[in-house]
């Protein structure tokens, strides 16, 4: 732009000079003045050609910038669309696709043998297993009659609620009974009474745990969600003693 401004100022100066010469044309000009007038006109003509060349270059640059702006605007709209449609609960995979390698704890050294992390987790009383979120391909493979009107986000919201209940339950179980108040001590005893030989070392919740620790309603819709989670192999039911246990897989 500075080049165009410089040329523009130069052309303006030339035109002013020519104007002065033309103003003097009313009188008879000496030969050298006529010659100078011709030179000024010739120089002005060249400046105009150069000016047109720069204008053409800037038009091309402007066209290119507009194309870049349109491309950037499209990319921005795509990014905003992706941002607005990110699932509320991003799926998390704790194990590799092969399922043959155990997951390492954050506090474990990277050179621990595969069999050792599992032992560490089993011996770590603070460890609580959580249900993995449903992936979109898994959700799409659920039969429509089973999904009904339940959306992908709603299903994973239920997964999150179940995880909240599991974490709260086993946090109480991992505490010493002496540190519990009357209410949590009763819960602790109920949790213990619901355990069986089959549930030893497993993580499970019952409907009362869902009611106790979450805002999720245990109704017909909840039963439909459980069917979907069983279909996706996230849990299985274990009945006995008048209690239905939802065991995490």
**Domain spanning 117-248: CATH superfamily:** Ska1 microtubule binding domain-like (1.10.10.1890)
Is pTM beyond 0.75 here? no
> Exposed, middle or buried by CB within 10 Å (0-12, 13-18, 19+), for 225?
buried
pLDDT of residue 97: 41
Provide the CA 14 distance to its chain's centre, in angstroms. 61
What is the spatial distance between Cα 133 and Cα 162, in angstroms, rounded to a whole number?
11
User: Going by C-beta distance under 8 Å and a sequence separation of 6 or more, which residues neighbour residue 70?
Assistant: none
Residue 100 pLDDT: 39
- pLDDT for the residue numbered 136: 93
What residues does each domain of the chain span?
Answer: 2-84, 117-248
Q: Are 211 and 218 in contact (CB under 8 A)?
A: yes
Q: What is the pLDDT along the chain (249 residues), one digit of tens a residue?
A: 566 667 667 677 767 766 666 665 555 556 666 666 677 777 777 777 777 787 888 888 888 888 888 888 888 888 887 777 766 555 554 444 444 333 434 344 434 344 444 444 545 566 788 999 999 999 999 999 999 899 999 999 999 999 999 999 999 999 988 999 999 999 999 999 999 999 988 999 999 999 999 999 999 999 999 999 999 999 999 998 889 999 998
Per-residue CA distances from 195 to 78, 130, 173, 209, 247 (Å):
51, 18, 12, 14, 11
């Amino acid at each position: 732009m500075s080049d165009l401004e410089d040329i523009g100022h130069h052309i303006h100066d030339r035109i002013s000079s020519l104007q002065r010469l033309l103003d003097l044309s009313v009188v008879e000009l000496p030969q050298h003045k006529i010659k100078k007038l011709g030179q000024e006109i010739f120089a002005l003509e060249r400046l105009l050609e150069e000016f047109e060349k720069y204008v053409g270059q800037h038009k091309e640059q402007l066209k290119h910038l507009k194309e870049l702006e349109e491309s950037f605007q499209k990319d921005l709209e795509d990014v905003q669309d992706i941002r607005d449609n990110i699932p509320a609960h991003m799926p998390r995979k704790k194990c590799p696709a092969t399922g043959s390698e155990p997951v390492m704890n954050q506090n474990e050294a990277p050179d621990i043998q595969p069999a050792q992390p599992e032992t560490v987790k089993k011996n770590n009383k603070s460890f609580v297993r959580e249900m993995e979120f449903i992936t979109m391909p898994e959700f799409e493979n659920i039969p429509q009659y089973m999904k009904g009107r339940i959306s992908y986000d709603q299903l994973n919201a239920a997964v999150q609620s179940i995880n909240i209940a599991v974490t709260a339950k086993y946090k109480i179980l991992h505490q010493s009974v002496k540190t519990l108040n009357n209410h949590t001590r009763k819960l602790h005893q109920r949790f213990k009474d619901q355990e069986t030989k089959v549930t030893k070392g497993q993580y499970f919740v019952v409907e009362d745990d869902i009611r106790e620790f979450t805002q999720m309603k245990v109704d017909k819709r909840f039963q439909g969600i459980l069917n979907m989670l069983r279909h996706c192999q996230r849990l299985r039911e274990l009945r006995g003693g008048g209690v239905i246990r939802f065991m995490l897989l």
